[in-house]
Structure 1
Amino acid sequence: MDEVPFYEKPEWADVVPIPQDDGPNPLVPIAYTKDYSTTMDYFRAICRSEEQSERALELTKIVIEMCPSHYTVWHCRQRLLKALNKDLTDELEWIKWMSSENPKSYQIWHHRQVLVDHISSVLLPASSATSETASSLITAPTIPYHELPESQQKAARDMVKVELDFIATALEEDSKNYHAWSYRQWVLTHFGQGPWWEEELSYIDGLLELDVRNNSAWNQRFYIVSTGPQGFTEEIVRREIEILHRAKHPLSEVKEFCEGLVSRTQANFSPFLHSTLLDIYEQEAKEQKKAESLSKAKSEAALLAEKIDPIRKKYWNWKKTQLNSITVEA
């Protein structure tokens, strides 16, 4: 790598750096490194002059690799990429590397979304592509996949495959990467009601076979089922219920563990503990017709309403009334 800082090179001699102005008496000045501070001084100068050049674009890359979460620099880079009419293929490769180095940086995932959104609007001119943040998903498809000619449908399928494979690689490293999952949902939705919706279920099945406790995968499954083209049909609901039945793990498996926690002062005030016990006793009352279990379930509901979780008092009281519909043996 070039060991000479860019600001010491002759091609930057015409730029007058602008120091950060924290006022005459900054209360808690940030201890930036000299290299970062100087780099930002040059970045401020480029921004003030609104320079649109290759060196300005390179400067944004330098700053981002120093501080991947600097959203102002990302915005500047996006404007420069558009102004300079750059080939975004190289940008996607760079982002691929950046995401592997900084997998939890929201700005990196959002930047890739902006790139894919722009590329899709060029390759699929029949679409009405609009920019949305990865955390603000649209409910209607941006691209009317089934209205596109076959050549554009193929282009859409190819783009979706590349993005989903890219995201899957990130999830192999961290299956609970929130930004990766958010971006995955955006990709599925953005390209419309294509075959990837059904394929996504197969992908989720694979994740759950590896780890049935992967809550992110379960959340994605619910998103696919509830948001996908088919919607909540009776057939789909029955299929999902059957999937849960296959697990064959009754709540009673954790009964002894939960009851053991009640004796611990700290745990005894946990609404999560007592709501779980309520579910366990309710299930026992329904399946085994045990009056003792029903009584315990009602006691847990009353305890949650009055002492442990009074902010949801109305819910727990309603839950208690629902328990009255359970028939048990005397």
Structure 2
Amino acid sequence: MAEQQDDVPFYQKPEWADVVPIPQDDGPNPLVPIAYTREYSTTMDYFRAMCRAQEKSERALDLTKIVIELSPSHYTVWYYRQQLLKELNKDLKDELEWIEWMVNEHPKSYQIWHHRQVVVGRIAESLFPSTTSTTTTTPTTAQSTEAAFSFDDLSESQKTAAQELVKSELEFIAESLKDDTKNYHAWSYRQWVLAHFGQGPWWTGELAYTEELLEEDVRNNSAWNQRYFVVTNGPGGLTEEGLQREVQFAKSKIEKTPSNESPWVYLTGVLRKANHSVTEIKEFCEGLLSVPRANFSPFVHATLLDIYEVEAKEQRSAASVEKAKEEAIMLAEKVDSIRSKYWNWRKTQLQKIDILA
């Protein structure tokens, strides 16, 4: 979408004749001057002039696009563009089309994803002005589960608008994730979209989406992380019924790939989130020891070590301490010897447990 209607640089056109470019000032004796291209250097000279004058015009907006397409990570230019879009009351849907092109060209640029978040946040403000409770002028992509408004408080027409906007954004993100299923910026933005628009019906399909991704690649740690985000932040939170569903889901994946760390982290994570003890999966873990490929999984033995240690502390059981020691030795000497020092340290800590005589 780099629109070049002719080969004449913008700064050579009559409409820019009144602008006095401001060169970059690196001081009298720059130590390591950057060898910018003439095109970029000149463009930035004009951009500095726009910033100093705080010009809010169509040509200033056009200039930000030129600079961004030359340097997509230039956050100062993105911020200036956001100000211009607001001052000039531009159609933000048109902006989304350009951002989509930019994401396709530079999928790992944080600034592009953040800009889309700003734009979508402003669209939401315009659609639901009476219900928006938090400003979205300059949001961050650090995730927050606090919604900008309550979905239930919206009118029917507003609910429809919210669903259409969220659906469009989730589809856009999913398309981007096809090229890189672990694009952190895309996942971060996806979580913001889900949370920002409140506890709406879009959460329902998110579990199915993560399950689809995990069917394709059970080691997709990003999909596991997203699933955890959904079950812990979605409508109703992690209920007892939801916990049992997720425990069974994680177990089914572990049985297929017992040496895959992600489902183990997920399994213990949801138990901890629901204030359930890891000892609840003792029978499952012990059963895996009879499976040859599982018996050499460090995650099976590490989880059993945790389980026996918890039992030893709760029951003050010498038998549990001995079982925990056996797991620590197994890890240190056979299945995870690269971290033998850690497992040997864990073994020494078991000696400190106060057991019944």
TM-score, normalised via structure 2 length: 0.76
Aligned to 1:244: 250
Q: Deviations over 1:75-121 (max 9, x none)?
A: 00000111111111111100000000000000000000000000100
CA distance in 2, matches of 1:318, 1:188: 43
Matches within 5 A, 1:1-330: 1=4, 2-125=6-129, 126-131=131-136, 133-247=139-253, 248-249=255-256, 250-251=258-259, 253=293, 276=299, 278-279=301-302, 282=305, 295-299=325-329, 308-309=341-342
Alpha carbons 1:39, 1:63 under 8 Å: kept: yes
| Alpha-carbon RMSD | 3.2
Alpha carbons 2:302, 2:331 under 8 Å: kept: no
CA distance in 2, matches of 1:118, 1:51: 22
Letter of the 1:93 partner, please give it.
Answer: E
Alpha-carbon spacing, 1:16–1:210, altered in 2? closer, same or farther (3 Å): same
CA distance in 2, matches of 1:151, 1:296: 63
CA distance in 2, matches of 1:284, 1:182: 33
Letter of the 2:55 partner, please give it.
Answer: E
CA distance in 2, matches of 1:9, 1:241: 65
Q: Deviations over 1:260-297 (max 9, x none)?
A: xxxxxxxxxxxxxxx648427759999xx9x9975542
Shift of 1:133: 3.6
Shift of 1:212: 1.2
Percent of aligned positions that are identical: 55
CA distance in 2, matches of 1:186, 1:107: 15
Shift of 1:198: 1.3
CA distance in 1, matches of 2:236, 2:350: 32
CA distance in 2, matches of 1:233, 1:93: 39
Alpha carbons 2:151, 2:199 under 8 Å: kept: yes
SS at match of 1:198: helix
Letter of the 1:229 partner, please give it.
Answer: P
CA distance in 1, matches of 2:250, 2:208: 16
Counting matched residue pairs gives 302
CA distance in 2, matches of 1:130, 1:228: 22
SS at match of 2:33: coil
Shift of 1:124: 1.0
Letter of the 1:52 partner, please give it.
Answer: K
Letter of the 2:199 partner, please give it.
Answer: Q
Gaps of 5+ in 2: 260-291, 310-318
Aligned to 1:271: none
Alpha-carbon spacing, 1:317–1:109, altered in 2? closer, same or farther (3 Å): farther
Gaps of 5+ in 1: 259-274, 326-330
CA distance in 1, matches of 2:159, 2:126: 14
